[in-house]
Amino acid sequence: MDLRVLKSFVTICKLGNITRASEVLFISQPALTRQLQELEDELGCKLLIRNTRSLTLTESGYLFFQRAEEILTLANQAKMELSEKGEFLRGIIRIGIVETSAMRILTREMQKFTAQYPHVHFEIY
């Protein structure tokens, strides 16, 4: 299994049609069908229920679709991070706080921090 196959699977799922997915991916429809069959063989389960005009994800297919999207997102993120030059801080800072006057201080400090480290994002709970 490689990223190309995962991308093909995700595209098939999003479009709901192998023919349309093959056009978008610039792959012949038989080659794409073969990729899908090989993926199902590799995983040992059916991912899609094929109808004459559409596809439906099985339970296993839905789970694999979610994981495939996560993997592709992480691969793209890693590629982007490695292509950027220089050292910088990145990630997510999660903060739990109740609504008080301290929120003004926190907001001001978050703005300063974000200006210095634009690749850091905050999640407030």
Tell me which long-range contacts 51-55 makes (C-beta under 8 A, separation of at least 24): 53/17, 54/16, 54/17, 55/12, 55/13, 55/16, 55/17, 55/18
Which sequence spans correspond to the domains of the chain? 3-83, 91-124
CATH code of the domain made up of 3-83: 1.10.10.10
Tell me which long-range contacts 45-49 makes (C-beta under 8 A, separation of at least 24): 47/9, 48/12, 48/13
Per-residue pLDDT tens listing for the chain (125 residues): 899 999 999 999 999 989 999 999 999 999 999 999 999 999 999 999 988 777 899 999 999 999 999 999 999 988 877 776 655 677 889 988 888 888 888 889 999 998 888 888 899 88
Q: How many degrees, rounded to 5, is the angle at CA 35 between CA 58 and CA 7?
A: 75
